Amino acid sequence: MALGVHICAVGRLRSGPERDLLDDYLKRFDRTGRALGLGPVSVREVEDKKGGGMSAEAPLLEGAIPKGAVICALDERGKLMSSPDFAAMLAEWRDMGRANVAFVIGGADGIDPSLRAKADAKLSFGKMVWPHMLVRVMLGEQLYRASSILSGAPYHRV
């Protein structure tokens, strides 16, 4: 059984270098991950048109998360992981028979504490705060790197 991967994020990623990079990494992940039972990947974007902040974004994000999915919140308070550890975590969820994982990326103010509390895992890309559009690219690259690690390809160097 394949582990479906969903990036659930606040905001629309418009055309430009971030979108091009994300599309490239996700295409690579889908190609590499398919044989490993990972993917396909989908991007689910939500937008709070009224500007209500985290509390208004939380129900929109929750609506984008597939029922029963493993929820992984991207948050600066989350766990710091190496790329091999991230790959192992994906493989573990796949091997447990989980159907989907949702990587949740909040808006400018982050993820509402009520939604963060529901997360099965919290992941940090460092103690610095990153623009949420750039976090998508970083996540896409790490997904591709994880599939490369799991397939034994030379992309990842330890």
Look at residue 156 and tell me if it is in a domain. no
Which residues form the domain of 111?
3-151
Q: Please write the tens of the pLDDT for every residue from 61-72.
A: 999 999 999 999
Q: Residues 88-120: pLDDT tens digits?
A: 999 999 999 999 999 999 998 899 999 999 999
Position 157 in a domain: no
User: How many domains is the chain built from?
Assistant: 1
The model's pTM is 0.95
Flag whether 39 is in a domain.
Answer: yes
| Residue 56 located in a structural domain | yes
Query: Does the residue 94 lie in any domain?
Result: yes
CA distance 88 to 107: 28
Residue 36: CATH number of its domain: 3.40.1280.10
Q: Within 13 Å of residue 151, how many CA atoms lie on the same side as its CB? A: 20
Q: What's the whole-number mean pLDDT along residues 35-64?
A: 94
- Average pLDDT of the segment spanning 118-126: 97
**Is residue 156 pLDDT above 70, yes or no?**
no
